[in-house]
Structure 1
Amino acid sequence: MQIKPEELDNNGYVLIDSLGHKELIPFVRTYLKKRTKISSFYTVSNIIIVVAIIFCFWQNYGIDDFSLGSGITYFTYGMAIAFGLIPLHEFIHVLAYKSQGAEKTSYGANLKKFHFMAIADKFVANKKEFQVVALAPFVVISIILGILLFFVSNLWDFTILGILLTHTAFSSGDFGLLSYFEFNNDREIVTYDDKENSISYFYGKIK
Protein backbone atom coordinates (compact mmCIF):
# COMPACT_ATOMS: atom_id res chain seq x y z
CA MET A 1 0.00 0.00 0.00
CA GLN A 2 1.10 3.53 -0.68
CA ILE A 3 0.56 4.57 2.92
CA LYS A 4 2.89 4.99 5.89
CA PRO A 5 2.17 3.66 9.40
CA GLU A 6 1.83 7.17 10.81
CA GLU A 7 -0.84 7.94 8.23
CA LEU A 8 -3.15 5.07 9.19
CA ASP A 9 -5.09 6.96 11.87
CA ASN A 10 -5.88 9.83 9.51
CA ASN A 11 -7.17 7.34 6.92
CA GLY A 12 -9.76 5.81 9.21
CA TYR A 13 -7.77 2.83 10.50
CA VAL A 14 -7.68 1.92 14.17
CA LEU A 15 -5.30 -0.42 15.95
CA ILE A 16 -7.02 -3.74 16.69
CA ASP A 17 -4.12 -6.06 17.52
CA SER A 18 -0.40 -6.08 18.14
CA LEU A 19 1.67 -9.23 17.95
CA GLY A 20 5.01 -9.52 19.70
CA HIS A 21 7.19 -11.72 17.56
CA LYS A 22 7.99 -13.90 20.56
CA GLU A 23 4.27 -14.67 20.84
CA LEU A 24 3.86 -15.75 17.23
CA ILE A 25 3.21 -19.45 17.90
CA PRO A 26 0.22 -19.10 20.28
CA PHE A 27 -1.25 -16.41 18.00
CA VAL A 28 -0.98 -18.72 14.98
CA ARG A 29 -2.45 -21.68 16.86
CA THR A 30 -5.43 -19.59 17.93
CA TYR A 31 -6.36 -18.60 14.38
CA LEU A 32 -5.64 -21.97 12.81
CA LYS A 33 -8.32 -23.31 15.15
CA LYS A 34 -10.86 -20.78 13.88
CA ARG A 35 -13.36 -22.00 11.30
CA THR A 36 -12.11 -20.12 8.27
CA LYS A 37 -11.64 -21.20 4.68
CA ILE A 38 -7.88 -20.79 4.91
CA SER A 39 -7.59 -22.92 8.08
CA SER A 40 -9.79 -25.57 6.42
CA PHE A 41 -7.59 -25.49 3.32
CA TYR A 42 -4.50 -25.95 5.50
CA THR A 43 -6.06 -28.92 7.30
CA VAL A 44 -7.17 -30.54 4.04
CA SER A 45 -3.69 -30.02 2.55
CA ASN A 46 -2.12 -31.93 5.43
CA ILE A 47 -4.69 -34.70 5.15
CA ILE A 48 -4.05 -35.07 1.41
CA ILE A 49 -0.30 -35.38 2.00
CA VAL A 50 -0.80 -37.99 4.74
CA VAL A 51 -3.14 -39.97 2.47
CA ALA A 52 -0.54 -39.77 -0.31
CA ILE A 53 2.10 -41.14 2.07
CA ILE A 54 -0.15 -44.04 3.11
CA PHE A 55 -0.96 -44.74 -0.54
CA CYS A 56 2.74 -44.71 -1.39
CA PHE A 57 3.45 -47.34 1.26
CA TRP A 58 0.50 -49.43 0.06
CA GLN A 59 1.54 -49.13 -3.59
CA ASN A 60 5.08 -50.29 -2.85
CA TYR A 61 4.10 -53.10 -0.48
CA GLY A 62 5.16 -56.43 -1.85
CA ILE A 63 7.76 -55.07 -4.27
CA ASP A 64 10.93 -57.14 -3.84
CA ASP A 65 13.38 -54.32 -3.12
CA PHE A 66 10.99 -52.42 -0.85
CA SER A 67 10.59 -52.69 2.91
CA LEU A 68 8.77 -50.64 5.53
CA GLY A 69 12.14 -49.69 7.01
CA SER A 70 13.49 -48.37 3.74
CA GLY A 71 10.35 -46.32 3.14
CA ILE A 72 10.60 -44.77 6.60
CA THR A 73 14.32 -44.09 6.11
CA TYR A 74 13.76 -42.22 2.85
CA PHE A 75 10.83 -40.37 4.42
CA THR A 76 13.07 -39.12 7.24
CA TYR A 77 15.57 -37.95 4.63
CA GLY A 78 12.81 -35.70 3.37
CA MET A 79 12.07 -34.35 6.83
CA ALA A 80 15.74 -33.49 7.28
CA ILE A 81 15.96 -31.81 3.87
CA ALA A 82 12.91 -29.68 4.74
CA PHE A 83 14.91 -28.04 7.54
CA GLY A 84 17.47 -27.02 4.93
CA LEU A 85 14.70 -25.32 2.94
CA ILE A 86 13.94 -22.83 5.72
CA PRO A 87 16.32 -20.16 4.34
CA LEU A 88 14.77 -20.60 0.88
CA HIS A 89 11.28 -20.32 2.38
CA GLU A 90 12.12 -17.01 4.06
CA PHE A 91 13.97 -15.75 0.99
CA ILE A 92 10.84 -16.30 -1.10
CA HIS A 93 8.87 -14.31 1.50
CA VAL A 94 11.33 -11.44 1.10
CA LEU A 95 11.11 -11.58 -2.69
CA ALA A 96 7.32 -11.50 -2.40
CA TYR A 97 7.50 -8.51 -0.06
CA LYS A 98 9.72 -6.68 -2.53
CA SER A 99 7.32 -7.52 -5.37
CA GLN A 100 4.60 -5.71 -3.39
CA GLY A 101 6.73 -2.62 -2.86
CA ALA A 102 8.56 -3.22 0.43
CA GLU A 103 12.02 -1.69 0.59
CA LYS A 104 13.39 -2.47 4.06
CA THR A 105 13.33 -6.26 4.35
CA SER A 106 15.19 -8.54 6.74
CA TYR A 107 14.93 -11.82 8.60
CA GLY A 108 14.06 -12.73 12.17
CA ALA A 109 14.42 -15.94 14.14
CA ASN A 110 13.65 -17.33 17.57
CA LEU A 111 15.80 -20.44 17.81
CA LYS A 112 14.46 -21.32 21.27
CA LYS A 113 10.90 -21.57 19.93
CA PHE A 114 12.10 -22.57 16.47
CA HIS A 115 10.27 -20.06 14.35
CA PHE A 116 11.60 -17.87 11.57
CA MET A 117 10.13 -14.90 9.79
CA ALA A 118 10.69 -12.40 7.02
CA ILE A 119 10.26 -8.80 8.12
CA ALA A 120 9.30 -5.76 6.05
CA ASP A 121 9.97 -2.87 8.40
CA LYS A 122 7.22 -0.19 8.35
CA PHE A 123 5.72 -1.55 5.12
CA VAL A 124 1.93 -1.43 5.35
CA ALA A 125 0.38 -4.40 3.57
CA ASN A 126 -3.31 -4.92 2.88
CA LYS A 127 -4.99 -8.33 2.70
CA LYS A 128 -4.26 -8.92 -0.98
CA GLU A 129 -0.60 -7.97 -0.64
CA PHE A 130 -0.17 -10.06 2.49
CA GLN A 131 -1.76 -13.07 0.79
CA VAL A 132 0.91 -12.90 -1.91
CA VAL A 133 3.67 -12.69 0.70
CA ALA A 134 2.29 -15.44 2.94
CA LEU A 135 1.43 -17.97 0.25
CA ALA A 136 4.45 -17.52 -2.05
CA PRO A 137 6.82 -20.04 -0.36
CA PHE A 138 4.12 -22.68 0.14
CA VAL A 139 2.92 -22.43 -3.46
CA VAL A 140 6.36 -22.29 -5.10
CA ILE A 141 7.95 -25.09 -3.09
CA SER A 142 4.83 -27.33 -3.19
CA ILE A 143 4.59 -27.02 -6.98
CA ILE A 144 8.27 -27.87 -7.42
CA LEU A 145 7.95 -30.90 -5.12
CA GLY A 146 4.77 -32.01 -6.88
CA ILE A 147 6.55 -31.93 -10.24
CA LEU A 148 9.52 -33.84 -8.84
CA LEU A 149 7.22 -36.69 -7.81
CA PHE A 150 6.85 -37.56 -11.50
CA PHE A 151 10.60 -37.82 -12.04
CA VAL A 152 11.96 -39.78 -9.06
CA SER A 153 12.08 -43.48 -8.28
CA ASN A 154 9.73 -45.16 -5.81
CA LEU A 155 11.84 -44.75 -2.68
CA TRP A 156 12.58 -41.11 -3.44
CA ASP A 157 8.81 -40.54 -3.55
CA PHE A 158 8.92 -40.96 0.22
CA THR A 159 11.65 -38.33 0.46
CA ILE A 160 9.63 -35.83 -1.58
CA LEU A 161 6.53 -36.51 0.51
CA GLY A 162 8.59 -36.13 3.68
CA ILE A 163 9.76 -32.72 2.50
CA LEU A 164 6.23 -31.75 1.51
CA LEU A 165 4.66 -32.75 4.83
CA THR A 166 7.35 -31.07 6.92
CA HIS A 167 7.42 -27.91 4.83
CA THR A 168 3.64 -27.67 5.07
CA ALA A 169 3.98 -27.90 8.84
CA PHE A 170 6.58 -25.13 8.73
CA SER A 171 4.07 -23.01 6.78
CA SER A 172 1.54 -23.07 9.63
CA GLY A 173 2.50 -19.55 10.68
CA ASP A 174 1.69 -18.18 7.25
CA PHE A 175 -1.70 -19.88 7.22
CA GLY A 176 -2.46 -18.80 10.78
CA LEU A 177 -1.87 -15.16 9.88
CA LEU A 178 -4.00 -15.51 6.75
CA SER A 179 -6.74 -17.05 8.89
CA TYR A 180 -6.56 -13.96 11.11
CA PHE A 181 -7.27 -11.75 8.09
CA GLU A 182 -10.22 -13.92 7.08
CA PHE A 183 -11.60 -14.13 10.63
CA ASN A 184 -11.70 -10.32 10.68
CA ASN A 185 -13.23 -10.12 7.22
CA ASP A 186 -15.80 -7.55 8.38
CA ARG A 187 -12.96 -5.04 8.50
CA GLU A 188 -10.38 -3.88 6.02
CA ILE A 189 -7.25 -5.20 7.73
CA VAL A 190 -3.74 -3.92 7.11
CA THR A 191 -0.53 -4.86 8.88
CA TYR A 192 3.05 -3.73 9.24
CA ASP A 193 6.17 -4.84 11.08
CA ASP A 194 8.12 -2.78 13.60
CA LYS A 195 11.54 -4.39 13.42
CA GLU A 196 13.09 -2.36 16.23
CA ASN A 197 10.49 -3.43 18.77
CA SER A 198 9.83 -6.90 17.26
CA ILE A 199 6.11 -6.25 16.93
CA SER A 200 3.61 -6.61 14.09
CA TYR A 201 0.62 -4.30 14.18
CA PHE A 202 -2.82 -4.94 12.74
CA TYR A 203 -5.09 -2.03 11.90
CA GLY A 204 -8.62 -2.17 10.59
CA LYS A 205 -11.52 -0.06 9.49
CA ILE A 206 -15.14 -0.95 8.89
CA LYS A 207 -15.78 -1.76 5.25
Structure 2
Amino acid sequence: MSPELLKNNRHYKNMLSIVDSSEWLLFIATFIRRKNLVTKIYGVYLLIGLFGVCYLFFNYELIAIESRLWIVGITGGLLISLLISPVLHELIHSLAFKYYGAKSIRFKWNWNLFRFNVQANDFVLSKRKYYLICGFTFILFSILPFILAFFADRILLFTLLSLSFFHALYAMKDLAVCSYLYKFPNCFIYSSEENKTVFYKSIP
Protein backbone atom coordinates (compact mmCIF):
# COMPACT_ATOMS: atom_id res chain seq x y z
CA MET A 1 0.00 0.00 0.00
CA SER A 2 1.29 3.48 -0.88
CA PRO A 3 1.62 6.19 1.80
CA GLU A 4 -0.93 8.42 0.05
CA LEU A 5 -3.51 5.64 -0.14
CA LEU A 6 -3.02 4.73 3.51
CA LYS A 7 -3.26 8.29 4.85
CA ASN A 8 -6.30 9.18 2.73
CA ASN A 9 -8.18 5.91 3.14
CA ARG A 10 -11.09 6.34 5.58
CA HIS A 11 -10.90 2.63 6.40
CA TYR A 12 -7.59 3.13 8.21
CA LYS A 13 -7.13 5.07 11.42
CA ASN A 14 -4.03 6.65 12.94
CA MET A 15 -3.57 4.79 16.26
CA LEU A 16 -0.28 6.20 17.52
CA SER A 17 2.54 8.51 16.45
CA ILE A 18 6.08 8.37 17.85
CA VAL A 19 8.56 11.14 17.17
CA ASP A 20 11.50 11.24 19.59
CA SER A 21 13.62 8.94 21.76
CA SER A 22 11.72 9.62 24.99
CA GLU A 23 8.49 8.44 23.37
CA TRP A 24 10.24 5.33 22.06
CA LEU A 25 11.62 4.54 25.53
CA LEU A 26 8.13 4.78 27.04
CA PHE A 27 6.71 2.69 24.18
CA ILE A 28 9.32 -0.05 24.64
CA ALA A 29 8.93 -0.14 28.42
CA THR A 30 5.15 -0.41 28.05
CA PHE A 31 4.71 -2.98 25.31
CA ILE A 32 7.61 -5.32 26.02
CA ARG A 33 5.73 -6.14 29.25
CA ARG A 34 2.34 -6.75 27.62
CA LYS A 35 1.16 -10.35 27.85
CA ASN A 36 0.70 -11.73 24.36
CA LEU A 37 2.21 -14.38 22.09
CA VAL A 38 5.17 -12.17 21.11
CA THR A 39 6.28 -11.39 24.66
CA LYS A 40 5.62 -14.97 25.76
CA ILE A 41 7.95 -16.27 23.03
CA TYR A 42 10.53 -13.70 24.11
CA GLY A 43 10.18 -14.77 27.74
CA VAL A 44 10.45 -18.46 26.81
CA TYR A 45 13.61 -17.71 24.80
CA LEU A 46 15.20 -15.97 27.80
CA LEU A 47 14.17 -18.85 30.07
CA ILE A 48 15.59 -21.43 27.67
CA GLY A 49 18.75 -19.33 27.51
CA LEU A 50 19.06 -19.46 31.30
CA PHE A 51 18.59 -23.23 31.41
CA GLY A 52 20.97 -23.60 28.47
CA VAL A 53 23.71 -21.67 30.26
CA CYS A 54 23.16 -23.81 33.38
CA TYR A 55 23.40 -26.97 31.26
CA LEU A 56 26.63 -25.81 29.63
CA PHE A 57 28.01 -24.71 32.98
CA PHE A 58 27.61 -28.12 34.62
CA ASN A 59 28.08 -30.47 31.67
CA TYR A 60 30.99 -28.67 29.98
CA GLU A 61 32.70 -27.97 33.31
CA LEU A 62 32.87 -24.26 32.52
CA ILE A 63 33.79 -23.49 36.10
CA ALA A 64 37.17 -25.12 35.45
CA ILE A 65 37.98 -22.76 32.57
CA GLU A 66 40.28 -19.87 33.38
CA SER A 67 38.48 -16.66 34.34
CA ARG A 68 40.35 -14.66 31.70
CA LEU A 69 38.71 -16.78 28.99
CA TRP A 70 35.30 -15.98 30.47
CA ILE A 71 36.13 -12.28 30.47
CA VAL A 72 37.53 -12.25 26.92
CA GLY A 73 34.62 -14.27 25.53
CA ILE A 74 31.82 -12.32 27.24
CA THR A 75 33.48 -8.98 26.43
CA GLY A 76 33.95 -10.08 22.82
CA GLY A 77 30.27 -10.94 22.50
CA LEU A 78 29.32 -7.61 24.05
CA LEU A 79 31.54 -5.69 21.63
CA ILE A 80 30.13 -7.59 18.67
CA SER A 81 26.59 -6.86 19.87
CA LEU A 82 27.43 -3.15 20.24
CA LEU A 83 29.60 -2.54 17.17
CA ILE A 84 28.96 -5.19 14.54
CA SER A 85 25.62 -6.96 14.89
CA PRO A 86 23.62 -3.66 15.18
CA VAL A 87 25.06 -2.52 11.85
CA LEU A 88 24.29 -5.88 10.21
CA HIS A 89 20.87 -5.98 11.92
CA GLU A 90 19.86 -2.58 10.57
CA LEU A 91 21.47 -3.25 7.19
CA ILE A 92 19.23 -6.29 6.79
CA HIS A 93 16.26 -4.12 7.76
CA SER A 94 17.26 -1.50 5.19
CA LEU A 95 17.68 -4.10 2.43
CA ALA A 96 14.24 -5.50 3.29
CA PHE A 97 12.75 -1.98 3.24
CA LYS A 98 14.33 -1.38 -0.16
CA TYR A 99 12.99 -4.70 -1.41
CA TYR A 100 9.50 -3.76 -0.23
CA GLY A 101 9.63 -0.38 -1.99
CA ALA A 102 11.36 2.20 0.23
CA LYS A 103 12.88 4.95 -1.93
CA SER A 104 15.05 6.70 0.67
CA ILE A 105 16.70 5.36 3.82
CA ARG A 106 18.71 7.15 6.51
CA PHE A 107 21.04 5.67 9.10
CA LYS A 108 21.97 7.20 12.45
CA TRP A 109 23.16 6.25 15.93
CA ASN A 110 20.67 7.08 18.67
CA TRP A 111 22.48 7.66 21.98
CA ASN A 112 19.29 7.84 24.04
CA LEU A 113 18.15 4.41 22.86
CA PHE A 114 21.78 3.28 22.53
CA ARG A 115 21.12 1.69 19.18
CA PHE A 116 21.88 2.09 15.49
CA ASN A 117 18.69 3.10 13.69
CA VAL A 118 17.51 2.97 10.10
CA GLN A 119 14.66 5.23 9.00
CA ALA A 120 12.84 4.73 5.70
CA ASN A 121 11.31 8.01 4.52
CA ASP A 122 7.67 8.15 3.39
CA PHE A 123 7.34 4.38 3.48
CA VAL A 124 4.59 1.94 4.51
CA LEU A 125 5.18 -1.56 5.84
CA SER A 126 2.52 -4.11 6.72
CA LYS A 127 2.42 -5.97 10.03
CA ARG A 128 3.18 -9.31 8.36
CA LYS A 129 6.27 -7.99 6.58
CA TYR A 130 7.53 -6.32 9.75
CA TYR A 131 7.14 -9.60 11.65
CA LEU A 132 9.12 -11.42 8.95
CA ILE A 133 11.98 -8.91 9.06
CA CYS A 134 12.21 -8.83 12.86
CA GLY A 135 11.88 -12.60 13.13
CA PHE A 136 14.71 -13.14 10.67
CA THR A 137 17.16 -10.83 12.47
CA PHE A 138 16.26 -12.26 15.88
CA ILE A 139 16.85 -15.81 14.66
CA LEU A 140 20.12 -14.80 12.97
CA PHE A 141 21.71 -12.84 15.82
CA SER A 142 20.13 -14.33 18.97
CA ILE A 143 18.79 -17.85 18.42
CA LEU A 144 21.48 -19.06 15.99
CA PRO A 145 24.46 -17.98 18.18
CA PHE A 146 22.80 -19.67 21.17
CA ILE A 147 22.46 -22.94 19.25
CA LEU A 148 26.01 -22.73 17.89
CA ALA A 149 27.33 -22.24 21.44
CA PHE A 150 26.52 -25.90 22.16
CA PHE A 151 29.01 -26.89 19.45
CA ALA A 152 31.73 -24.41 20.44
CA ASP A 153 34.37 -24.38 23.14
CA ARG A 154 36.20 -21.99 25.46
CA ILE A 155 36.32 -18.34 24.24
CA LEU A 156 34.03 -18.92 21.24
CA LEU A 157 31.40 -20.51 23.49
CA PHE A 158 31.30 -17.49 25.80
CA THR A 159 31.33 -15.10 22.84
CA LEU A 160 28.32 -16.77 21.22
CA LEU A 161 26.34 -16.85 24.47
CA SER A 162 27.16 -13.20 25.14
CA LEU A 163 26.17 -12.16 21.61
CA SER A 164 22.91 -14.11 21.87
CA PHE A 165 21.93 -12.41 25.13
CA PHE A 166 22.97 -8.84 24.31
CA HIS A 167 21.37 -8.91 20.86
CA ALA A 168 18.12 -10.07 22.50
CA LEU A 169 18.27 -6.87 24.56
CA TYR A 170 19.08 -4.81 21.47
CA ALA A 171 16.09 -6.29 19.63
CA MET A 172 13.73 -5.17 22.38
CA LYS A 173 12.49 -2.22 20.31
CA ASP A 174 11.52 -4.49 17.41
CA LEU A 175 9.81 -6.89 19.80
CA ALA A 176 7.91 -4.07 21.51
CA VAL A 177 6.55 -2.98 18.12
CA CYS A 178 5.56 -6.57 17.34
CA SER A 179 3.89 -6.76 20.76
CA TYR A 180 1.95 -3.55 20.10
CA LEU A 181 0.79 -4.72 16.67
CA TYR A 182 -0.18 -8.19 17.87
CA LYS A 183 -3.79 -7.38 18.76
CA PHE A 184 -4.50 -5.63 15.43
CA PRO A 185 -5.17 -8.10 12.58
CA ASN A 186 -4.75 -5.59 9.75
CA CYS A 187 -2.35 -2.74 10.42
CA PHE A 188 0.55 -0.81 8.90
CA ILE A 189 3.61 1.14 10.00
CA TYR A 190 4.28 4.43 8.26
CA SER A 191 7.69 6.16 8.42
CA SER A 192 7.48 9.85 7.54
CA GLU A 193 10.13 12.19 6.18
CA GLU A 194 10.13 14.02 9.56
CA ASN A 195 11.52 10.95 11.35
CA LYS A 196 8.06 10.13 12.69
CA THR A 197 6.65 6.62 12.99
CA VAL A 198 2.87 6.26 12.71
CA PHE A 199 0.79 3.12 13.32
CA TYR A 200 -2.43 2.65 11.38
CA LYS A 201 -5.17 0.05 11.86
CA SER A 202 -8.17 -0.89 9.77
CA ILE A 203 -11.60 0.13 11.03
CA PRO A 204 -15.02 -1.32 10.12
TM-score tier after normalising by the smaller chain length: 0.7 to 0.9
What CA distance in whole angstroms lies between the structure 2 residues aligned with 1:189 and 1:74? 42
Aligned to 2:9, the other structure's residue is in SS state: helix
TM-score of the aligned structures, taking structure 2 as reference length: 0.86
Which residue matches 1:140? 140
Aligned partner letter, 1:115: R
Please list every run of 5 or more consecutive structure 1 residues that lacks an aligned counterpart in the other structure. none
Distance 1:45 1:144, change over 3 A: closer
Aligned partner letter, 1:194: S
What CA distance in whole angstroms lies between the structure 2 residues aligned with 1:62 and 1:7? 55
Which digits, 9 at most, give the CA deviation of each residue in 1:152-206, with x for residues without a partner? 32442111000110011100000000001013x2x521111113x2210111122
Contact 2:119–2:195 (CA under 8 A) maintained in structure 1: no
| Aligned residues: CA RMSD | 2.4
What CA distance in whole angstroms lies between the structure 1 residues aligned with 2:140 and 2:113? 25
Contact 1:138–1:171 (CA under 8 A) maintained in structure 2: yes
Distance 1:147 1:40, change over 3 A: closer
Which digits, 9 at most, give the CA deviation of each residue in 1:121-143, with x for residues without a partner? 11111111221233232122235
Distance 1:191 1:135, change over 3 A: same
What CA distance in whole angstroms lies between the structure 2 residues aligned with 1:137 and 1:9? 32
Which residue matches 2:186? 188
Instruction: Give 1:45 shift.
Output: 1.3
Q: 1:1-207 residue pairs with structure 2 within 5 A?
A: 1=1, 3-5=2-4, 7-22=6-21, 23-61=23-61, 66-67=65-66, 70-84=69-83, 85-142=85-142, 144-146=144-146, 148-149=148-149, 151-183=151-183, 185=184, 188-195=186-193, 197-206=194-203
Aligned to 1:124, the other structure's residue is in SS state: strand
Deviates more, 1:112-121 or 1:3-12: 3-12
What CA distance in whole angstroms lies between the structure 1 residues aligned with 2:52 and 2:99? 34
Which digits, 9 at most, give the CA deviation of each residue in 1:34-54, with x for residues without a partner? 111001111111222222222
Contact 1:105–1:120 (CA under 8 A) maintained in structure 2: yes
What CA distance in whole angstroms lies between the structure 2 residues aligned with 1:51 and 1:205? 41
Distance 1:62 1:148, change over 3 A: closer
What CA distance in whole angstroms lies between the structure 1 residues aligned with 2:59 and 2:155? 11
TM-score of the aligned structures, taking structure 1 as reference length: 0.85
What CA distance in whole angstroms lies between the structure 1 residues aligned with 2:178 and 2:168? 14
What CA distance in whole angstroms lies between the structure 1 residues aligned with 2:46 and 2:62? 27
Distance 1:44 1:152, change over 3 A: same
Aligned to 1:109, the other structure's residue is in SS state: strand
Contact 2:49–2:146 (CA under 8 A) maintained in structure 1: no
Please list every run of 5 or more consecutive structure 2 residues that lacks an aligned counterpart in the other structure. none
Contact 2:57–2:63 (CA under 8 A) maintained in structure 1: no
Which digits, 9 at most, give the CA deviation of each residue in 1:69-96, with x for residues without a partner? 5334422321222112211111011112
Aligned partner letter, 2:15: I
What CA distance in whole angstroms lies between the structure 1 residues aligned with 2:66 and 2:75? 14
